[in-house]
Amino acid sequence: MLISKLGEFGLIERFKKHIRLDSSVIRGPGDDCAVINFSKDKYLLFTCDMIVEGVDFRPQEDPYLIGRKAVAVCISDIAACAGTPRYCLISLGMSRNKTTAFADKISKGMRDIARNFKVNLVGGDLSAARKTVIDVSMIGLVSKKRLVLRSGAGVGDIIFVTGALGGSILGKHLKFTPRVKEAQFLTKKFKISSMIDISDGLIQDLGHILSLSNKGAVIYEKLIPVSPKARNTKDALYSGEDFELLFTMSQQQARKLIDSGMRNFKPIGEITSKEYGLSLIGINGRKKDILDKGFKHF
């Protein structure tokens, strides 16, 4: 059987099946970061993201932005667990025929975003490769009482997003700001029950929260904040690479957040029990079909 038939998530399940972990691992594969017991009051977060020329960026893209994106996606994973990004390693494969100017720009893009987020760029590995490929691995820290996973959504919780969705492929995916500050603000002032960063599209990433939380959800098309760059609401629901945060909190906490007047957190729906599955209510108040359209590698 070809892996394209099994699909990305089928393949991940297959990889996970036989893995054994010791008791220091609080959360292994399946969340935005792995979570490791670190000290009395902190967990270590550990994550990696690979970006490949022709898949995650076009060859003609500005190398500065490619380097920036490679590091930003990992910072976004740490944000999704409400952590502080701290240390990163860069593995870079590229062709011998690239110029030093190309390498300098990639490297400056990485350094600039790392510096902005106070991430230490502590090392890496260089390799020859036909197509440019960058894998960044990152260590973050999170105080134990602030850790948020994908698995904590409860029935009745309100679902929020941090910003407008869709159309990211036109540029935002290379320039987005990882939502570290927002996640830290939220976990400092409120109780967040689950969180994920939207990399594969709202519907698909909400699906990850629902499957790990063993819940269903109703979301309302009219509440989805659609980016001016998006062609339509479908883009906002299904297109990937937004890197906004999707999170849930109890109704009481949600009211407190809404009452606080902060306008960058938009409620889009509610968690239900599992048997309702995921429903999308259209502008006309009727249920709309959910498409199987989020980004998949295979």
144 to 173, contacts with its own copies by CB under 8 A? none
Q: Which of 63, 83, 93, 178 binds its own copies (CB under 8 A)?
A: 93
Q: Does 128 bind its own copies (CB under 8 A)?
A: yes
Q: Does 122 bind its own copies (CB under 8 A)?
A: yes
Only one residue has tokens 């972990």, namely: 21
Q: Which of 58, 96, 145, 286 binds its own copies (CB under 8 A)?
A: 96
**Interface region with its own copies, contact rule CB under 8 A, candidates 2-10, 152-160, 174-182, 260-268:** 2-10
Q: Does 3 bind its own copies (CB under 8 A)?
A: yes
**Interface region with its own copies, contact rule CB under 8 A, candidates 20-28, 151-159, 249-257, 275-283:** 20-28
**DSSP 8-state code for residue 239:** -
| Interface with its own copies: number of residues (CB under 8 A) | 76
Cβ–Cβ under 8 Å, residues 294 and 241: no
Q: Does 14 bind its own copies (CB under 8 A)?
A: yes
Q: Which two tokens stand for residue 252?
A: 């009481």
3-class SS of residue 226: strand
Strands 215-220 and 278-281: parallel
Is residue 52 within a helix (H) or strand (E), and if so which, with residue range? strand 42-52
Name which of residues 25 to 84 contact its own copies (CB under 8 A). Answer: 25, 28-31, 33-34, 36, 39, 44, 46-52, 54-56
**Distance between CA atoms of 69 and 50, rounded to whole angstroms?**
10
**DSSP 8-state code for residue 110:** H
Nearest to 266 by CA among 166, 175, 165, 193: 165
Q: Which of 131, 189, 231, 287 binds its own copies (CB under 8 A)?
A: 131
**Interface region with its own copies, contact rule CB under 8 A, candidates 14-22, 143-151, 225-233, 279-287:** 14-22
**Distance between CA atoms of 239 and 230, rounded to whole angstroms?**
9
Radius of gyration of the chain (CA): 19
Q: Closest CB to its own copies among 122 and 283?
A: 122
Q: Which of 61, 116, 121, 277 binds its own copies (CB under 8 A)?
A: 121
Number of other CB atoms surrounding residue 295 within 10 Å: 17
**Interface region with its own copies, contact rule CB under 8 A, candidates 86-94, 167-175, 179-187, 226-234:** 86-94
